Amino acid sequence: MSDSLLIRIQHAGTVADMWKTIIAEFDHKGRMVQVDLHCHMMEKCATEMDDIHAHLDEMALSHECLSGMGAAMHDEDYASMILMSSLTVTPPTSKP
């Protein structure tokens, strides 16, 4: 627990008030983590030098993390993020 949080709960009148302060602090941080992870997914972009399988695995892991936090995105939004992040990758060509 951070020193600033300890200072804030130190002045609470009851244990219930202390608990409310702690919950509010971590709920706020949880939403910030969700927003940060969502933004990271939107900014992710694979290049031709990247391993596309690793890129897709990372996108899937981020999607699962968001779902686990209760911030699941619609399938259409997830598919759009994958497509947009993969547009710079040229598919391999077959050699005759």
Domain of 19 in residue numbering reads as 3-86
One-letter amino acid for residue 39 of the chain: C
Indicate the number of domains in the chain.
1
For residue 96, is it within any domain?
no
Q: What percent of the chain has a predicted confidence (pLDDT) above 90?
A: 8
What predicted TM-score, i.e. pTM, was given to this entire model?
0.60
Cα separation, 42 vs 59, whole angstroms? 10
Cα separation, 26 vs 48, whole angstroms? 39
For residue 39, is it within any domain?
yes
The dihedral sign for the CA sequence 37, 43, 47, 53: positive
pLDDT per position as a tens digit, 19-78: 888 888 777 777 788 888 888 888 888 888 888 899 999 999 989 888 887 788 889 999
For residue 91, is it within any domain?
no
